[in-house]
């Protein structure tokens, strides 16, 4: 584990012990990528949720963040991030669809990724900017836009992560995936699963992962 996992902090009730319990739960549930575990320890999750819910910040639960959106449970964030980085020495350039509260963005930044993130809801995006500033993580490029379209002006991406459930993978995003790139997303309506798409020399490889529960991926922006 990275040295940072034993460093002290000044987050009061959100002690090293509290965050280490979260990390141990992630390990027990099969998360092995040390970069992901270190990043999730270092990111102060309580800064990304409403103060009224802060006592649950490090529990393995999803929580509401307003406008019908949620912050994913830590295990889901860790699993998707691990699959995105698997087999890579460096995370490279990552596109996130669905900025939400900015927590997944923060975790990606802490792994060393160059992060571009699109959010369709202007109010949620403003809150994400505030949260990331408070956490002193301001190096992501945040965009108010339609995630179905991606960011063709800065493509290709080494990884794409979609934090809302699509009925099918938006074709524009597959087109923006770099060679040997990986795309992780939930697919489905009432019944959802995480899927991994890998762009290989032999074509697109698809792997179904575990069941998931996300808000739907909607078009347009508000």
Active site residues: 72
C-alpha–C-alpha distance, residues 84 and 185, integer Å: 10
C-alpha–C-alpha distance, residues 145 and 164, integer Å: 14
- The alpha carbon dihedral of 103, 106, 110, 115 has a sign of positive
Residue 65: CB atoms within 10 Å: 21
């Amino acid at each position: 584990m990275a040295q940072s996992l034993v460093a002290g902090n000044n987050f009061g009730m959100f002690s090293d012990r509290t965050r280490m319990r979260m990390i141990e739960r992630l390990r027990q549930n099969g998360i092995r990528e040390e970069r992901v575990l270190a990043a999730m320890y270092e990111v102060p999750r309580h800064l990304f949720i409403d103060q009224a819910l802060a006592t649950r910040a490090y529990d393995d639960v999803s929580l509401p963040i307003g406008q019908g959106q949620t912050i994913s449970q830590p295990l889901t964030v860790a699993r998707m991030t691990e699959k995105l980085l698997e087999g890579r020495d460096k995370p490279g350039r990552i596109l996130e669809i669905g900025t939400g509260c900015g927590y997944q963005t923060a975790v990606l930044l802490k792994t060393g990724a160059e992060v571009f993130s699109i959010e369709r809801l202007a109010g949620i995006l403003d809150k994400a900017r505030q949260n990331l500033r408070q956490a002193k993580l301001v190096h992501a490029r945040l965009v108010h836009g339609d995630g179905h379209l991606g960011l063709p002006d800065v493509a290709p991406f080494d990884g794409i992560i979609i934090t809302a459930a699509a009925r099918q993978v938006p074709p524009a995003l597959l087109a923006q995936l770099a060679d040997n790139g990986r795309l992780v997303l939930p697919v489905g309506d009432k019944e959802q699963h995480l899927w991994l798409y890998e762009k290989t020399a032999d074509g697109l490889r698809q792997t179904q992962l575990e069941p998931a529960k996300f808000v739907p991926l909607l078009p347009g922006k508000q």
